[in-house]
Amino acid sequence: AQSVTQLGSHVSVSEGALVLLRCNYSSSVPPYLFWYVQYPNQGLQLLLKYTSAATLVKGINGFEAEFKKSETSFHLTKPSAHMSDAAEYFCAVSDRDTGNQFYFGTGTSLTVIP
């Protein structure tokens, strides 16, 4: 089975600072990769995904992520944090061949300090 590791269950950044949320996957074959955001008391919203096109993927709200096969990573970044970015972020993967089973990381809670 796949596994996803998100380093840092809690990340705090100052408003305007760089946001970096880390995600590493375990598969030897690059899977599909996703980042989701969950605002308090809400469901999950897709931020961006990597499915084999460009390795640098741009998503909504100014977020982007870079797929690095050599590092089995898919870290999420945003150049300048905004107060509205405070939320829980989940990295997820699914197998390329089936796409039926999804594996999520344990989540990173982002706090933005004014």
Q: Which residues pair with 110 in a beta bridge?
A: 11, 87
- Contact letters (x/-) for another protein, 7-36, by CB under 8 A? --x----------------------x-x-x
Q: Which of 22, 30, 66, 102 binds another protein (CB under 8 A)?
A: 102
CA gap 68, 109 in Å, rounded: 23
Residue 73 interacts with another protein (CB under 8 A)? Answer: no
Residue 99 interacts with another protein (CB under 8 A)? Answer: yes
Q: Are 79 and 62 in contact (CB under 8 A)?
A: yes
Give the 3-state secondary structure of residue 59.
Answer: coil
Q: Which of 46, 56, 60, 113 binds another protein (CB under 8 A)?
A: 46
